[in-house]
Amino acid sequence: MDESMKRLLQRLVRRIPAQMLKTTLEKCVRLTASQQRSVEVLQPKWAFTETLLDICEENGWTVKHVTKLEMTCFMDNPNQGMWYAFQLVDPEDDAHAVELMQFKEKFKYHLKDLVRPVSIKIKKHTDEAVWIRIAWGDGFSPPNHLKPTYVVHYLQTPYVFVTNLTSKRKPLLCQALVLSTRHQIIKDANLSGRKLTAVRDLLMKQYQQAFPIKYPSPLAERHETVSNPHIEKEQAESASKRFQMACEAFGDGMLPQLQTSIYKLETKFRDHTNKTMTDREKPFRCVVKFESTNLLESLRSCASSGIASTPVTPLLSSIPLKGRNYFVVTDNTPGPASQTRQPLD
């Protein structure tokens, strides 16, 4: 087994928790009884790595097997690194009929046309997501399996989620995606986050949203909590109104976990007490960044507790409404403008 394989395997084992590797091994490959036993023995990570390397040698595994293992582990645990969302625009007439085999063939063909050598692996997840693992090489070097790009796409939807893509390779991937999904343009959706599930749920609208309804269902009564009848809350009505507006702006129940929201301001400085700054003709450029472990949850509680005024300002409610967390705010537009951000690096 050559050095690059050893390094790849070592890096793989280092990144993934041992338990996950064990379960994935059992799922993906057939181990002999003695190999199975050696894997199950409780041992420190470095010893486990050695065990795995031995198994690789014994079974004559190639890079293909190891990358398959890596991909399966990553698909089960995708919330690592930064995920960026892209949107496919202007579908052709047959975009809606693109099926899996067609997409796979076309994508491989187009990407291989643009860059060689390249290692592409495409797999369908149980939730209908198409996962693509790309190891990039160029004319001088073989595919780099240590830094693969992962792409997730649901056919018949306009969204593509990408992680670990350099700006150099971005146009190549975009071209291949546009051709294989039968669209004309792909653009930055201005949404990024550490959790694939959060970014996906926000764009695919797979979280519980709140709407004003005429006949509340019997289940809606869960909101009514039995409070002490001797205590009358003075502010109860306005509090429930704020809560309702906060839920309508951000959603009900569990919200997708975004971590940041960035506003790039290109507006004129406005402060009556500071004449020098206000008199400047050029816009005052600054960037406002909100950070949190669960941004939407914290914004919702800001609105319902009254810290943020209700009705919720479009600057904040645009995050779930438009499904983006990067905005450029200028003076001419009443709300956040749409502009693409700088290329990824």
Contacts with other proteins, 285-324, as mask; x by CB under 8 A: ------------------------------------x---
Question: What is the residue type of 311?
Answer: P
Nearer to other proteins, 154 or 284 (CB): 154
Q: Residue from 33, 41, 42, 213 that binds other proteins (CB under 8 A)?
A: 213
Q: Residue from 20, 185, 204, 277 that binds other proteins (CB under 8 A)?
A: 204
Question: What's the CA gap between 320 and 202, in Å, rounded?
Answer: 7
| Number of residues counted as binding other proteins (CB under 8 A) | 23
Residues 258 and 295 sit within 8 Å (Cβ to Cβ): yes
- Measure the CA dihedral 202/208/212/215, to 10°: 150
Asked if residue 156 binds other proteins (CB under 8 A), the reply is yes
Please, what is the minimum distance in Å from the beta carbon of residue 244 to other proteins? Answer: 11
Q: Residue from 40, 105, 128, 291 that binds other proteins (CB under 8 A)?
A: 128
Q: Residue from 37, 64, 96, 285 that binds other proteins (CB under 8 A)?
A: 96
Asked if residue 205 binds other proteins (CB under 8 A), the reply is yes
CA distances from 254 to 18, 210, 257 (A): 30, 12, 9
DSSP string, 41-74: S---HHHHHHHHHHHHHHHT--HHHHHHHHHHHH
Asked if residue 220 binds other proteins (CB under 8 A), the reply is no
Please, what is the minimum distance in Å from the beta carbon of residue 33 to other proteins? Answer: 29
- The contacts of residue 21 (CB under 8 Å, 6+ apart) are 12, 13, 48, 52, 69, 73
The 3-state DSSP class for residue 220 equals helix
Nearer to other proteins, 39 or 189 (CB): 189
Q: Label residue 237 left, alpha or beta by phi (over 0 means left) and psi (-120 to 50 means alpha).
A: alpha
Q: Residue from 97, 236, 254, 288 that binds other proteins (CB under 8 A)?
A: 97
Asked if residue 209 binds other proteins (CB under 8 A), the reply is yes
Rounded to 10 deg, the angle between the 3-15 and 45-59 helix axes is 140
Asked if residue 158 binds other proteins (CB under 8 A), the reply is yes
Asked if residue 155 binds other proteins (CB under 8 A), the reply is yes
Q: Residue from 48, 131, 159, 326 that binds other proteins (CB under 8 A)?
A: 159
Please, what is the minimum distance in Å from the beta carbon of residue 155 to other proteins? Answer: 5
Please, what is the minimum distance in Å from the beta carbon of residue 238 to other proteins? Answer: 17
The 3-state DSSP class for residue 134 equals strand
Residues 149, 152, 156: CA angle, nearest 5 degrees: 145
Asked if residue 211 binds other proteins (CB under 8 A), the reply is yes
Question: What's the CA gap between 111 and 103, in Å, rounded?
Answer: 12
Residues 89 and 32 sit within 8 Å (Cβ to Cβ): no
Q: Which stretch binds other proteins (CB under 8 A): 91-99, 164-172, 256-264, 329-337?
A: 91-99
List residues binding other proteins (CB under 8 A). Answer: 96-97, 99-100, 124, 128, 154-159, 203-206, 209, 211-215, 321
